[in-house]
Structure 1
């Protein structure tokens, strides 16, 4: 008999947790698992929900507007009773709160995946993070962190029990990436000069992604490498501010905002070096994708980034919020072709050996088996 897994997530927009949901659902053994996804909100139209339906995964929507509504928990419990899963696997804040409370009340083992290093210091966000941590601490059976640094962070700041936590690295489907494929046509479609050396960032356009510091680094880069061009792929509320910043630094003709793209394996081939100037990140999957596309990396030394990028091996690590270090790292890889090529090849091998999604699926499947056998 198939094992029934309920995957509960806040929404099914364009975020990393949402895309990882889709990637994993494509890989789980459907002969072994009966999979169902429940979204608690509509985010960006829930496009990932439509993709899940196309691959045959049932998707349901429960409208949970906030953490305070008195009918949230009864509605979720009623839904869970209807589908009677053997495991509840929660992703993101609302699901981590309500899914794990429901799990303990109903005697169903629950798993939560923590994708971020969220630890707000003040205001409403501070209390929301404390509520989420409390629910994980007291009600969740097992907590997955996506990096070792994230595991340590949540043990220290969220007071989660070490024996409750396990690190399972995010993986990617390596077959989707084609190292060495030409990106010339994509560059032309984006009006990037044919002779440009393209520095590429793919990220949500939010302040914590640190893209503002890379834009600030561009005048220094262009002074030594006039053919440098910065390609930014993604959308978000900070986008307009970043565009204004490019104008204020006089680099708007050397920066392209490509918006949201669904062809990331192809867009990666349009870049020569991948840059991630993030200020905080548990385990940025986009770095793994860049490595699978055989790109050398310049990234900030924060969170789980050093667990992906080994300094001087497959990329360069710089300090966060430091435009000068970003500029120096990019210029070094622009100038030193042999170093760049060696790092790109090393990154490809690391992606293949350490971050294949098949490893992630196997480990999560084994965890489900263990919890079904032994319960909460």
Structure 2
């Protein structure tokens, strides 16, 4: 069960996992509560042969939806419920308990409620549901698992850390053909040093700090270009900042793209100056492409980037550290190559979706056996 099937990270991850789930052991179907941006992921899931059912819910306080969910679970002979995102945490958990089914929930984010009584109550209701209606909580990073224990008072023995998985085989290793093609596509000189960020353009991604650091980077690496891939609500502010710093010829905005593997494969350095992130999947994708990483030391990022092994970590919102780290890797290609190769190893061993799905199936099996024996 999931709130919606727009283009968010949780929705994409659901598709990745369904793609590799063992159909000899499991017969999945997806229940979605609302439509967001047309629910484009629904069509992709259906192409896998997985049914997608819409059971509309107006909000977290619409408990009439629980009655519909109970009927749904019984009519389809469901054996186990896996919920993702907020509304289904509550409604799906209650309905599963009424029917007597084991329940798993994936916790994707740090749930920071806004300082309003309504948002605080919503957060408290969600934490209550996690504590009382779910048998297992999957945290996508150890950091978010610790947060669930500290903030949500979730029993630590009920939490399992399972990193998001990616299809590492779909990302291209850095190569000269992609290098030339990317530079031609965006009008970048063939010999340019190319730094890339792929992200939803929100203030929290911290891209503004790298733009502010770019004049210092250019002073040390005159042929450096910065390619920002993605769209979002902070895009106009970032473009204005690039104009203010007279960087419009060196800081380029690619918009939303569907050729991310090719862009990563043709770049020299990946930077994510995020201010807070649970486990940014894009870092695993960049690692799978053989790119060295510069990223902020926040949230679950240190669980992905190990200084000296696959990248460098910097303090968030620190233009000086960002500039120094980027310059260091752009001016020492041997170190950058070594860190990029280390990143490929990390992506394969820690974030390969096939390995992660097997671990998820083991969690399912453990809960099913426990339920059947009780």
Pairing 1:260–2:256 present: yes
Give how far 1:179 is off. 0.9
Q: 1:90 aligns with which of 83, 86, 94?
A: 83
Give CA deviations for 1:209-245 in whole Å, capped at 9, x if unaligned. Answer: 1112112211221222222111111222122222222
In 1, are the aligned partners of 2:174 and 2:267 still within 8 Å (CA)? Answer: no
Alpha-carbon distance in structure 2 between the residues aligned to 1:72 and 1:98: 7
Alpha-carbon distance in structure 2 between the residues aligned to 1:245 and 1:78: 53
Q: 1:174 aligns with which of 168, 172, 184?
A: 168
Matched with 2:100 is: 107
In 1, are the aligned partners of 2:174 and 2:266 still within 8 Å (CA)? Answer: no
**Which structure 1 residue ranges, 5 or more long, are not aligned?**
1-7
Alpha-carbon distance in structure 2 between the residues aligned to 1:255 and 1:65: 42
Alpha-carbon distance in structure 2 between the residues aligned to 1:77 and 1:248: 57
Alpha-carbon distance in structure 2 between the residues aligned to 1:364 and 1:250: 49
In 1, are the aligned partners of 2:90 and 2:126 still within 8 Å (CA)? Answer: yes
- Give 3-state SS (helix, strand or coil) of 2:200's partner: coil
Matched with 2:283 is: 287
Alignment of 1:134-173 (within 5 A): 134-173=128-167
**Which structure 2 residue ranges, 5 or more long, are not aligned?**
none
Give how far 1:70 is off. 4.6
- Name the Cα RMSD after superposition: 1.6
Deviates more, 1:58-67 or 1:158-167: 58-67
Matched with 1:131 is: 125
Matched with 2:193 is: 197
Matched with 1:325 is: 321
TM-score normalised according to structure 2 size: 0.94
Matched with 2:341 is: 345
Give how far 1:121 is off. 5.4
Alignment of 1:357-376 (within 5 A): 357-375=353-371
Alpha-carbon distance in structure 1 between the residues aligned to 2:256 and 2:121: 32
- Give 3-state SS (helix, strand or coil) of 1:33's partner: coil
Matched with 1:14 is: 7
Task: Give the direction of change, closer, same or farther, for the CA distance of 1:242–1:125 in structure 2 (3 Å limit).
Answer: farther
Q: 1:301 aligns with which of 286, 297, 303?
A: 297
In 1, are the aligned partners of 2:174 and 2:264 still within 8 Å (CA)? Answer: no
Task: Give the direction of change, closer, same or farther, for the CA distance of 1:101–1:249 in structure 2 (3 Å limit).
Answer: farther
TM-score normalised according to structure 1 size: 0.94
Task: Give the direction of change, closer, same or farther, for the CA distance of 1:192–1:63 in structure 2 (3 Å limit).
Answer: farther
Give CA deviations for 1:161-204 in whole Å, capped at 9, x if unaligned. Answer: 01111111122112112213332213322233323211111111
- Give 3-state SS (helix, strand or coil) of 2:137's partner: strand
Give CA deviations for 1:313-345 in whole Å, capped at 9, x if unaligned. Answer: 210000011111111111111111111111011
Alpha-carbon distance in structure 1 between the residues aligned to 2:77 and 2:295: 44
Task: Give the direction of change, closer, same or farther, for the CA distance of 1:247–1:75 in structure 2 (3 Å limit).
Answer: farther
Matched with 2:243 is: 247
Alpha-carbon distance in structure 2 between the residues aligned to 1:87 and 1:169: 21
Alpha-carbon distance in structure 1 between the residues aligned to 2:39 and 2:192: 36
Alpha-carbon distance in structure 2 between the residues aligned to 1:261 and 1:95: 30
In 1, are the aligned partners of 2:210 and 2:322 still within 8 Å (CA)? Answer: yes
Count of residues paired in the alignment? 369
Matched with 1:37 is: 30
Give how far 1:96 is off. 1.5
Alpha-carbon distance in structure 2 between the residues aligned to 1:32 and 1:240: 48
In 1, are the aligned partners of 2:278 and 2:299 still within 8 Å (CA)? Answer: yes
Give CA deviations for 1:107-151 in whole Å, capped at 9, x if unaligned. Answer: 111100011122235124333222211110111110000111211
